[in-house]
Amino acid sequence: GENVEQHPSTLSVQEGDSAVIKCTYSDSASNYFPWYKQELGKRPQLIIDIRSNVGEKKDQRIAVTLNKTAKHFSLHITETQPEDSAVYFCAASIRSGGSYIPTFGRGTSLIVHP
């Protein structure tokens, strides 16, 4: 099955700095890589995703890069703000019986200090 590793587990930055979270996956058949943000006491919500036919995708201050050869993908947040503080999860999907099942990384707790 798929195995998703995520680093670091905790990331502390100053407001305005950049933050980078990295994930690796094991199943070369995975082709969809979403990132979720979970604020305290709330449900995880998608912030950005990338499919395997694209190497990079950007949405304002957030970008994701994908290296299929090395089987790793990263989340980049620029000009961080205190409201970016949350837990971030990466995910990759394994194919099972004709459908895809998401597998999540262990999460990164991002703390942005004002």
Partner 1 sequence: SAVISQKPSRDICQRGTSLTIQCQVDSQVTMMFWYRQQPGQSLTLIATANQGSEATYESGFVIDKFPISRPNLTFSTLTVSNMSPEDSSIYLCSVGGGIMNTEAFFGQGTRLTVV
Q: How far is the CB of 16 from partner 1 (least distance, A)?
A: 27
- The footprint of partner 1 (CB under 8 A) covers 31-32, 34, 36, 42-46, 49, 89, 91, 93, 96, 98-107, 109
How far is Cα 91 from Cα 32, in angstroms, rounded to an integer? Answer: 8
Looking at beta carbons only, is 6 or 65 nearer to partner 1? 6
Between residues 74 and 105, which has the closer beta carbon with respect to partner 1?
105
Nearest distance, CB of residue 20 and partner 1, angstroms: 19
- Who contacts 14 (Cβ-Cβ below 8 Å, separation ≥6)? 80, 112, 113
Cα separation, 102 vs 95, in Å, equals: 9
Q: What are phi and psi of 84, to 5 degrees?
A: -80, -10
The nearer residue to partner 1, 58 or 95, going by C-beta atoms, is 95
